[in-house]
Each structure stands twice: as C-alpha cells, then as structure tokens.
Amino acid sequence: MILKDTFGRQVTNLRIALTPKCNLNCIYCHAEGEVAPKCLMSAEDIGEIMRVANLFEMRSIKFTGGEPLMRDDLVEIVSMVPEGMEASMTTNGTVLEDIAQDLKDAGLSRVNISLDSLKPERYKEITGKDMLSDVLAGIDAAIEAGLTPVKLNVVLLKGINDDEIPDFIHFVSNHPNHDHLILQFIELMDEFRNCPYHMDLTGLEEELQRTAKTVITRRMHHRKKYCLEGAEIEIVRPLHNTEFCAFCNRLRVTSDGFLKPCLMRHDNHIDIRGLRGKELEDAFRAAVEARVPYCQ
C-alpha cells in the first residue's frame, strides 16, 4: 500500500538522519533540521522503521546527518535495508575512503559527497577543517567501490566560492571517471536568504540552459539536468522551484526518533520512539496525513 497525502502526493522516499554529530563545522549547515545532540535511535529502531517503510512500498532510503559516518554501526544499519529498496547516503566524505567498500558490500548503492571548494585554504574557511585531500580520496574510493553515480554537492557562497564554478565543471569533465560523477550546484536554504553570502543561481542556470548540449528534466521536483561536454550538472534551487513541494515524495526521520513531514517545518513532528508494528504503521499514516506544501 503506497501512502498518499491529502494533496495527492505519493510518499516513496524516506530520509533518515542517523546523528546530528559532524566532524566539520560548515558555515551554511542547516543539519536537516537537527537542532541539538539528543538520544539517538538504535540500529534496531532504524531497522523497524525501514521495515515499515518497505511495507508502504517506499522504494528508496537516504541516510543523512549530521554526518552519517560518525556512527560506528553504520555498516550494520545499511545491511538492514530491506531487499528491493535502494539505499544511498549524503556525506562530507572526509572519512569515507576506508569504509566505502564495506558500505557497498553491505548494500549501499550510491553517495552524495559535499565538495564546496577545490582550494585547501578555502575549504578550511568554509568547513573549519583542513580535510580537502581526505574528501578527494573519499570520492575516488566511492567510485572504485561502485557507489555511483557519485553526486558532488557544491553549495555556492557569494564572495567565497562562486569564482570556482568553472573549476568545479573542469574537475568533473576532466576526471578520469567523469561518467560516474554528477555535479550539483546548490542554493542556500530559506533561512540564509538574507545572509551576505546567499547567491541567487538564476543567472547560472540561464547560462547552462544556453550552453548545454542536452537538457533533461528529472521526474522528482521537475529539476533540470544540464549535460555539457564530459559533465552532468544540476541546479538545486528549492527557493525558486515552484514545483519543489508540489512533487515532493519524501518523509523524514530525525536522529532522535521523530517522523518529520516537511524539512522546513518543526512544529508537526510525530514521536515514534520505541514504536513497533501497527503503532509505527499508524504513525507513518499520521505523518503523511500532516504533510502540507511549504508556503513562504
């Protein structure tokens, strides 16, 4: 049985925050709405949540954080994903190199890796840590392990890394495994709209529209993918994409055990701590019923 909210949107994707902890301190981080370290869900709790998600025919799981690799039991959690569900992960990639193959063997399909500068000092300015070389090693390890396509998440920051746009495109198009990479330029979320480094990506998207050899419209959110020579590029602009909410198929789980119907709202979470069986199933139904398109 597929869950559908009152606006007719089917929920087929579950995002599970595994921890609010992170080894970086990025200046733009919204932490998926995770506001403070709390008591984390156990691997057993997460396994039950995924079982119920599978019961409702949700076809994909994305593990987020914080930084998911801060959990020592991450490989165990990945191995509990029900058969037939795709499992992916968003990570900063700093400690991915040594565990990429284990994650692939456990059943992880692919990863998104944050890469906000190709310059070591600037990367440190943005993230608080001098770990760019570790991220680049993590990208290569992910490709070697088959965690592909690897999506490179670049949050564009006005006056900080916006001059690197050609460098990012060159990095992907000239990478020996460029066919396994997708470049995502991301606009800051709503709460950063008035900050000095918020950057409107309208001009960039218009330029890509003019220069792309092929433009593909993705099913989810109707987001466009621009295909240049040797590079696939997506622009992620939820502030300006009027279809972002209209086509949303996601339900979120916070790291401390609450169902979160919408990323941008914090007032309608549903407590699922310790729930099993029918009680958890009913909580899923209630969370989907509470989904309302976000209005600015």
Q: Going from the N-terminus, what domains does the chain have, and what CATH number goes with each?
A: 3-289 (3.20.20.70)
- The DSSP symbol for 269 reads -
Phi, psi of 231 (to 5 degrees): -145, 135
Our CA dihedral for 189, 233, 105, 46, rounded to 10 degrees, sits at 20
* Start-to-end Cα distance in the chain: 32
pLDDT-based confidence at 285, cuts 50/70/90? very high
What is the number of residues in the chain?
296
> pLDDT for 168-194, tens place per residue?
999 999 999 999 999 999 998 755 556
| pLDDT at residue 105 is higher than 90 | yes
pTM, whole model, 2 decimals?
0.94
The pLDDT value recorded for residue 219 is 66
d(CA 61, CA 17): 11
Read off the pLDDT of residues 218-276 as tens digits, 9 standing for 90 and up: 766 667 899 998 999 999 986 555 667 778 899 999 999 999 998 878 889 999 999 99
pLDDT average, residue stretch 114-120: 98
Reduced to 3 states (helix: H, G, I; strand: E, B; else coil), residue 211 is helix
Q: What is the C-alpha separation between 264 and 189, in angstroms, rounded?
A: 9
Select the more confidently predicted residue: 195 or 131. 131
